[in-house]
């Protein structure tokens, strides 16, 4: 079954359900950045400075410096030549697909199994079956950097064998700000991501070489999309120390968990796990943990148990979680 919990606020470390408190393992708020005092301070400053949303095009003759400044920070951090902010991760993915389809109108496009809908463009949808069976010799390739809700590692070496004339588009929404997103490939690589997950702000980002980003910023699809809310961009720009602190804590928890975890699917040193055993949800619940459980990819599918290790947790919480999994009997 899919399990719904209706609450009046965003969960932090604890969530109350049916009169009991549970440690929360759900959602995609990997860094729990919204509770960090520095982020809160800078967001309040941003709201005072930018008292309302600014919906004007990035081609307008009046520009806010915060957008370009944050793009430069992201480009430097993620070791690419340039970056372009969007109002969402979905728009980032669709903008890149629009760009490459116009640039290579006759090219074959192949989307890997389980690719997020951000990279779907009619009539192109993900190939069915296993990732290992994916046809990766097309001109334009689209895929996720890491699986969600199934926690799976995809970039395991095939990318090194791609051709220089290929284009690899990778949705990094579940890696950006969490683990390394460096991709070693001879192919032309463009990365997209939501910033609403680890970064906790309502925006998206495109990362790539300067030539591609310059052309994307001329595309009517990007130009016509409103830029992200400047107050949140200001908070992200000026709270980098908070992100660094939470990223380190997240890595410490992920290392501890994946070194000892049993009975679940995970990627080494990555702060999430999944399972298709419906009883696991109830087992964790009985030990004081709540996670996500829902049918995927459609309502008729078997429910998936998906959990993250949000930075609101402590190492003692991870030890308790490992002890609970140790007691689980399949």
> For the segment 87-105, what is each residue's pLDDT rounded down to a tens digit?
999 999 999 999 999 999 9
Tell me, what CATH number does 313's domain have? Answer: 3.90.1150.10
Q: Length of the chain, please?
A: 330
Intra-chain end-to-end CA distance of the chain, in Å:
18
pLDDT of residue 297: 67
Which CATH number covers residue 185? 3.40.640.10
Say if 4 falls within a structural domain. no
**Is residue 155 included in any domain, yes or no?**
yes
Domain that holds residue 26: 14-35+241-326
pLDDT at 100: 97
Nearest-CA neighbor of 306 among 24, 22, 26?
A: 26
Q: Say yes or no: 208 and 161 in one domain.
A: yes
Residues 6 or more apart from 282 whose CB is under 8 A from it?
none
Domain boundary among the residues 175, 205, 237 is at 237
Q: Tens of pLDDT along 183-195?
A: 999 999 999 999 9
Residues 85 and 163 in one domain: yes
> Could you tell me if residue 292 is inside a domain?
yes
77: left (phi over 0), alpha (psi -120 to 50) or beta: alpha
User: Of 237, 267, 285, which closes a domain?
Assistant: 237
Residues 250 and 143 in one domain: no
Burial call 130-144: b when 16+ CB within 10 Å, e when fewer: ebeebebeebbbbbb
**What is the pLDDT averaged over residues 133-159?**
93
144 torsion bin: left (phi>0), alpha (psi -120 to 50), beta (else): beta
The answer, yes or no, to whether residue 3 has pLDDT greater than 70, is: no
pLDDT in tens, 251-284: 999 999 999 999 999 999 999 999 988 789 999 9
**Do 297 and 316 lie in a common domain?**
yes
Residues 217 and 296 in one domain: no
Report for 15-29, 30-44, 126-140, 285-299: range of highest mean pLDDT? 30-44
The reply to whether 255 falls in a domain is yes
Shared domain check, 305 and 270: yes
Q: What percent of the chain is predicted at pLDDT more than 70? A: 98
Q: How far apart are CA 277 and CA 264, in angstroms?
A: 9
Q: Please give the residue that has the higher pLDDT: either 119 or 3.
A: 119
b/e map of 150-160 (b: 16 or more CB within 10 Å)? bbbebbeebbe
pTM of the model: 0.95
For 253, counting Cβ atoms within 10 Å of its Cβ (0-12 exposed, 13-18 middle, 19+ buried), the class is buried
> Same domain, yes or no, for 75 and 212?
yes
pLDDT digits (tens, 9 = 90+) for 290-322: 999 888 767 787 888 999 999 999 999 999 999
Whole-number Å distance between alpha carbons of 262 and 172: 26
Q: Residue 120 pLDDT more than 60?
A: yes
Token pair 């970064």: residue: 199
Looking at the structure, do residues 226 and 105 belong to the same domain, yes or no? Answer: yes
The mean of the pLDDT values for the chain is: 94
Question: Where a domain ends, among 237, 272, 307?
Answer: 237
| 2 has pLDDT over 60 | no
Any domain includes 44: no
Question: Looking at the structure, do residues 304 and 212 belong to the same domain, yes or no?
Answer: no
Higher per-residue pLDDT: 4 or 119? 119
């Amino acid at each position: 079954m899919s399990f719904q919990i209706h609450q009046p606020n965003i969960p932090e470390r604890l969530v109350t359900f049916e009169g009991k408190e549970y440690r929360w393992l759900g959602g995609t708020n990997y860094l729990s950045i919204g509770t960090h005092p520095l982020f809160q301070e800078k967001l309040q400053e941003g709201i005072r400075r930018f008292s309302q949303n600014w919906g004007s095009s990035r081609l307008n003759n009046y520009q806010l410096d915060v957008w370009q400044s944050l793009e430069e920070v992201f480009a430097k951090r993620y070791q690419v030549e340039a970056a372009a902010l969007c109002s969402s991760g979905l728009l980032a993915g669709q903008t890149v697909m629009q760009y490459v389809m116009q640039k290579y109108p006759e090219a074959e496009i192949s989307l890997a199994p389980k690719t997020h809908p951000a990279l779907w463009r009619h009539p192109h949808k993900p190939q069915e079956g296993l990732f290992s069976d994916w046809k990766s010799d097309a001109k334009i390739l689209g895929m996720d950097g890491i699986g969600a809700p199934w926690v799976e590692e995809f970039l395991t070496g095939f990318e090194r064998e791609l051709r220089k004339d290929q284009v690899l588009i990778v949705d990094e929404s579940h890696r950006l700000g969490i683990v390394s997103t460096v991709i070693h490939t001879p192919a032309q690589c463009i990365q997209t991501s939501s910033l609403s997950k680890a970064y906790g702000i309502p925006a998206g980002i495109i990362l790539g070489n300067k030539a591609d980003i310059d052309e994307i910023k001329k595309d009517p699809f990007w130009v016509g999309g409103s830029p992200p809310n400047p107050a949140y961009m200001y908070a992200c720009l000026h709270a980098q120390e908070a992100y660094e602190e939470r990223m380190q804590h997240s890595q410490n928890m992920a290392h501890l968990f994946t070194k000892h975890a049993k009975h679940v699917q995970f990627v080494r040193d990555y702060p999430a796990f999944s399972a298709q055993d419906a009883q696991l949800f109830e087992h964790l619940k009985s030990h004081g943990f709540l996670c996500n459980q829902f049918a995927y990819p459609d309502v008729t599918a078997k429910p998936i148990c998906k959990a993250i290790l949000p930075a609101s947790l402590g190492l003692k919480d991870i030890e308790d979680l490992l002890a609970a999994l140790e007691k689980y009997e399949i």
